[in-house]
Amino acid sequence: MQTYPDHIWHNGRIKPWAEATVHVMAHGLHYGSSVFEGVRCYDTPRGPVVFRMADHNRRLLQSAHIHDMPVPYTAEELGAATREVLRANGLRSAYIRPVAYRGLGGFGLSADTPVEVAVAAWHWGPYLGAAALESGIDACVSSWQRFAPNTVPAGAKAGGNYLSGQLVAREARRLGFGEGIALASTGLLSEGAGENLFLVFGDELHTPPASAALLNGITRHTVRVLAQEAGLTVVERDLPREYLYLCDELFMCGTAAEITPIRSVDGKPIGNGERGPVTRRIQELFFGLFRGETKDKWGWLEPLEQE
Ligand code: PMP
């Protein structure tokens, strides 16, 4: 069962968890008009750090901009709220969920309903399971496609988009798979229900482009930079489905899923059916950031307690 922390940040202040409520007639509930982020705080030898917090808060504001939602806080103020909620709950590591949503006051599709904001933080382990970080998961290609690029913008991390992700993820779990992979409306590879994809061919990492109806993940960017540091080549390109079956290694990445290997797709083993050496190397570099083994040259680790 999910256990919740004592406090949450809501509309400018820390409140008891139970008091951060929305009305049943909230615009966001009826029309999916919310934008959100998933961010992680890691306990490191330097103390707790929030990973790429500024980038996440920037993306939250970009998602809101796409949907004409005026968020009444700057990225810096959202950063301060994040620090406040972590401290209020005494958390040194956490999953953090900032969300901005249209609340009450003005109903209908084009109403300028005021935007409210909350930031929650709680303990949440790797999304696809801690064991999967080593063993990998069995994935399937979903019978649901992602939305076409001229329908709903995949580049905004908006609540409504996640009806698509839920169809993909729930179908996969119902059929006994760990996660689903969606194709774009073009029939080419897009992404996992809530994760980006990397296919490994020798020392090259291939990933579908932003035009394939995916969220341009911050972990995806992190993987790209770390792989290049390790002397690997990263290629962004259109990828047909069958390349999933032909690659040497395959992994998913995202803030919640971190770096999770995929050991089979549609019942076909990937490579030798185990986590491969390139995936392992990327995991070492990624988790090494939080163990103090990978030097943070990029300022990605934002200390909870500012120096
Ligand atoms: N795609 C989707 C649909 C997602 O929900 C996520 C998780 N936010 C990702 C990709 C990965 O994005 P990030 O690395 O920024 O968490």
Tell me which residue has its CA closest to atom 5 in ligand 1.
194
Does the beta carbon of 182 sit less than 6 angstroms from any atom of ligand 1?
no
Average pLDDT, stretch 249-275?
Answer: 97
pLDDT for position 126: 82
ipTM of this complex prediction, to 2 decimal places: 0.99
Summarised one tens digit per residue, pLDDT across range 102-161 is 999 988 999 999 999 999 999 988 888 889 999 999 999 999 999 999 999 999 999 999
Residues 192 and 43 in one domain: no
In a domain, 269, yes or no: yes
DSSP assignments along 7-48, one per residue: EEEETTEEEEGGG----TT-HHHHH--EEE--EEEEEETTEE
In a domain, 258, yes or no: yes
Does the beta carbon of 191 sit less than 6 angstroms from any atom of ligand 1?
yes
Does the beta carbon of 159 sit less than 6 angstroms from any atom of ligand 1?
no
Domain boundary pick from 85, 103, 122: 122
pLDDT for position 107: 87
pLDDT for position 307: 64
- The span from the CA of 144 to the CA of 26, in Å, is 29
Domain boundary pick from 104, 122, 140: 122
Residues 164 and 252 in one domain: yes
What is the residue-averaged pLDDT of the chain? 97
Which of 124, 142, 157, 282 has the most ligand 1 atoms within 8 A of CB, as the residue to mutate? Answer: 157
pLDDT for position 1: 65
- The span from the CA of 243 to the CA of 252, in Å, is 15
**Rg (the chain; Cα; Å):** 19
Could you give the dihedral angle defined by the CA atoms of residues 279, 54, 300 and 166, in that order, rounded to the nearest 10 degrees? -10
DSSP assignments along 149-166, one per residue: TTTS-TTS-BGGGHHHHH
Average pLDDT, stretch 274-282?
Answer: 98
Distance 105 CA to ligand 1 centre (A): 31
Domain count of the fold of the chain: 2
Annotation marks residue 157 as catalytic: yes
Does the beta carbon of 195 sit less than 6 angstroms from any atom of ligand 1?
yes
Residues 118 and 172 in one domain: no
**278 backbone dihedrals φ, ψ, rounded to 5°:** -70, -45
In a domain, 298, yes or no: no
Structural domain that includes position 203:
132-291
CATH number, domain at 64?
A: 3.30.470.10
pLDDT for position 128: 83
Summarised one tens digit per residue, pLDDT across range 151-202 is 999 999 999 999 999 999 999 999 999 999 999 999 999 999 999 999 999 9
CATH number, domain at 253?
A: 3.20.10.10
Residues 210 and 182 in one domain: yes
Tell me which residue has its CA closest to atom 10 in ligand 1.
195
Q: What is the atom index within ligand 1 of the atom nearest the CA of 215?
A: 1
Q: Which residues contact 115 (CB under 8 A, 6 or more apart)?
A: 64, 69, 70, 71, 72, 100, 101, 102, 103
